[in-house]
Amino acid sequence: MNFAAEIEGVFTREEIESFLKDEQQFYIEYAEENWLDRYFKIKAMSQKTHVPSITSVISDTPGGSNLNNSKTEQFALKSVQASEWLDTLLYAVGSLAPAEQKLIELKYMKKRNDGSKYCDEVIYPQLFIGKTRYYELKKEALEMLGRKLYGLFSERGFS
């Protein structure tokens, strides 16, 4: 028997649409909260060239698990991790459809001269689409980005 036919008999159309809407909202929120809202902070961390002061520490306790835990090392690791995080985001954005990619870049990855983000009313004319289509495309782009990032995040074993 066909699995899809069995499922359609178990759930109503409204229940299936509700599940799909909840799933879509999960990926949208995942992309915004875990990735796009942190973009500028992580980008700054990945580009920092300031090196903390280098001082020797003499201790009378034997070296344990913190033996290789210098401030310089910690700083370098944070910068590398931020760069990897940024590469992952840019890879996922680059794999979107061109219109989705442009929307994400304009809305979430660029700032105005005063440091604020562009509002939707400024972006959709730049994409040569109407307001309604813009919001549909934004939802689609965020969902697709969330799905891609969630998959990449799981594949690479980040935690």
Q: Where are the domains of the chain?
A: 83-159
CATH for the stretch 83-159 = 1.10.10
CA atoms of 82 and 41, how far apart (whole Å): 9
Q: Which residues pair with 79 in a beta bridge?
A: none
143 closest CA partner among 21, 39, 22, 25: 25
Torsion over CA of 108, 110, 114 and 116, rounded to 10 degrees?
A: 0
All residues at 6 or more sequence positions from 16 whose CB lies less than 8 Å from its CB, including other chains: 7, 8
pLDDT at 10: 77
Q: What is the pLDDT along the chain (159 residues), one digit of tens a residue?
A: 466 556 666 777 777 667 777 889 999 999 999 999 999 999 988 886 555 555 555 555 555 555 556 666 676 777 888 889 999 999 999 999 999 999 999 999 999 999 899 999 999 999 999 999 999 999 999 999 999 999 776 555 444
